[in-house]
Chain A
Amino acid sequence: DSGVTQTPKHLITATGQRVTLRCSPRSGDLSVYWYQQSLDQGLQFLIQYYNGEERAKGNILERFSAQQFPDLHSELNLSSLELGDSALYFCASDTPNTEAFFGQGTRLTVV
Chain B
Amino acid sequence: GQSLEQPSEVTAVEGAIVQINCTYQTSGFYGLSWYQQHDGGAPTFLSYNGLDGLEETGRFSSFLSRSDSYGYLLLQELQMKDSASYFCAVKRAGSYQLTFGKGTKLSVIP
Residues of A bordering B, CB below 8 Å: 2, 31, 33, 35, 41-43, 45, 48, 50, 55-56, 58, 88, 90, 92, 94, 96, 99-105
Contact = CB atoms under 8 A, between A and B. Distances in A.
Given A90-B43, A102-B44, A105-B42, A43 B96 contact: no
Contact of B98 (A41, A50, A100, A105): A100
Interface stretch (B18-26, B70-78, B99-107): B99-107
A50 B101 CA distance: 23
26 contacts: A2-B44, A31-B96, A42-B87, A42-B100, A42-B101, A42-B102, A43-B43, A43-B87, A43-B103, A45-B97, A45-B99, A45-B100, A48-B97, A48-B98, A50-B96, A55-B97, A56-B92, A56-B97, A92-B98, A94-B98, A99-B45, A100-B98, A101-B45, A102-B42, A102-B43, A104-B42
A92 B33 CA distance: 14
Interface of B: 33, 40-45, 48, 87, 92, 95-103
Contacts of A33: 97-98
A55 B103 contact: no
B12 to A, nearest CB: 20
Given A96-B96, A102-B42, 7 more contacts: A42-B87, A43-B100, A45-B98, A48-B98, A56-B95, A58-B97, A104-B42
B96 A55 contact: yes
Nearest to A6: B42
A103 B44 CA distance: 9
Contacts of B87: 42-43
A19 B41 CA distance: 22
Give the residue among B42, B99, B103 with the most A Cβ atoms within 10 A: B42
Which A-B residue pairs are the 6 nearest by beta carbons? A42-B102, A56-B97, A102-B42, A99-B45, A56-B95, A43-B100
Contacts of B41: 104
A101 to B, nearest CB: 7
